[in-house]
Amino acid sequence: MTALGAVFWDVDGTLADTEMEGHRPAFNQAFLELGLPFHWNEKLYADLLAIAGGIPRVTVYAADQGINLTDVQLKRLRDVKREHYFSRIRDGHVRWRPGVVRVVNELHDHNVQQWIVTSSGRPSVQALLDHAKGVLPVFDGVVTSDDVTTGKPSPDGYRLALKRSGIAPSCGLAIEDSAVGLQAATAAGLPCLLTPSPWDKDLVETSHLATAVLNHLGDHDKPSRLQHGPPCLDGMVTLNYMQSLLAHSL
């Protein structure tokens, strides 16, 4: 049996519920502070999540409203939004998804490499990791939008993480929550465990690409529900279950 050498984690919506309670209100606070006539409710933001990356999201939305923001405006918006996002993390508004803390620690205890691969910028990721100290072990590496030219659904981030980790795609597993993330992982040759975000409408058409689909990773007091893939005993994703997914994906 092929041994699991590394797990590659997405961040937003996968490791933690960052989108609706972290990024979205932070953007709204930045819009208000900078006098921009935008406000993103949950439904609108869910639609905008089809665009990978915060600043590309703003750029497209602003253009749709007939407003072309300059590079200076976008940089200022990014900086102000980040400060509001950091504040929301420090204040405890962003929570880990069920099972994440348990799984990350189990993998660490068994010396499985763990990497982050995300379309978010490094400062936002680092803020979350700083918040995780004492809860999650240190990840073996981080690949962000600052490290590649093209974000998800491009596989560039995953390919770079695979290269840096020294792990063959057949010995790795991606964990994602979105259609663009799933497409990026599978294009890089990685089997993918999907824990869908409820607002990603595109997953209806693409979830079949995943090796397994569960509503979350599961905990002792909150078992997961299997939607597709091999049976998951006790409603909890474990190292043994992830190991089985490699064989199932062959």
pLDDT of residue 205: 74
Where are the chain's structural domains?
Answer: 6-17+95-249, 19-90
Distance CA 212, CA 10 (A): 16
Q: Domain 19-90 maps to which CATH number in 3.20.20.70, 1.10.150.240, 3.40.50.150, 1.10.10.10? A: 1.10.150.240
Q: Which amino acid appears at position 28 of this protein? A: N
Closest CA to 179 of 148, 146, 201: 201
Closest CA to 57 of 48, 66, 44: 48
Determine contact, residues 202/133, Cβ cutoff 8 Å.
no
Residues 41-76 pLDDT 10s: 999 998 898 887 889 999 999 999 999 999 999 999
Distance CA 53, CA 246 (A): 29
Determine contact, residues 107/81, Cβ cutoff 8 Å.
no
Q: Which amino acid appears at position 85 of this protein? A: Y
Fold of 6-17+95-249: Rossmann fold (3.40.50)
60 — phi, psi (to 5°)? -65, -45
Residues 9-46 pLDDT 10s: 999 999 999 999 999 999 999 999 999 999 999 999 98
- Enumerate the active-site residues: 10, 12
Binned at pLDDT 50, 70 and 90, residue 250 comes out as: low
Residues 73-105 pLDDT 10s: 999 999 999 999 999 999 989 999 999 999 999
Residue 32: partners with Cβ closer than 8 Å, 6 or more residues away: 39
Residue 249 has pLDDT above 90, yes or no: no
